Amino acid sequence: MQLDRADLKLLELLQRDGRATVQSLSEAIHLSARATLNRVRRLEAAGVIEGYRALVRRSALGEHIGVFAEIALKDQRQAVVQRFERRMAAAPEVLGCWVVSGRYDYLVRIACADLETYNRLINVWLDDSALGVEKIVTNVELQTVKEFAGFPLPGTTLPKRK
């Protein structure tokens, strides 16, 4: 799908505030409310906009720790990989899971009530031979400097050096 300047501006605005009104969006991109709504619906139908969600303040949920776990699997057979990925996708403690290059196969972002809970969780993973986990290296989050706030869009990044 080819995105024009109005589409990119809509995506920028909706990444910042998914509850923005069609009226406020239309004023920002200088189109009628009907044309703006049609664009948003087209972006949704094309799968460019996958959905909307609420950002919940962490402190509202009580104390917890954030952990980045680097995980290596014992083997790379498709059945093992699929089983591991299904388990990560289903675990409510897993906030994100990425296949990465380098010494480890996955980078997994996890939130737990405390280190004891995290330790129990990873011990279950290590003890489950069907998951095929060889090694987990734990990096505890000390402070969040920047949280994900949307993807960079063309025209919003720094220009290249000459």
pLDDT in tens, 1-57: 899 999 999 999 999 999 999 999 999 999 999 999 999 999 999 999 999 988 888
CATH no., domain 5-45: 1.10.10
| Whether the Cβ atoms of residue 18 and residue 52 lie closer than 8 Å to each other | yes
pLDDT score for 140: 96
Rounded to two decimals, what is the model's pTM?
A: 0.81
Across the chain, the runs of DSSP E, i.e. the strands, are 65-73, 94-99, 106-112, 133-140
pLDDT interval class at 160 (50, 70, 90): low
pLDDT score for 150: 87
Taking the domains of the chain in order of start, what are their residue ranges? 5-45, 58-140
pLDDT in tens, 64-78: 899 999 999 999 999
Class of domain 58-140: alpha beta
pLDDT in tens, 102-138: 999 999 999 999 999 999 999 999 999 999 999 999 9
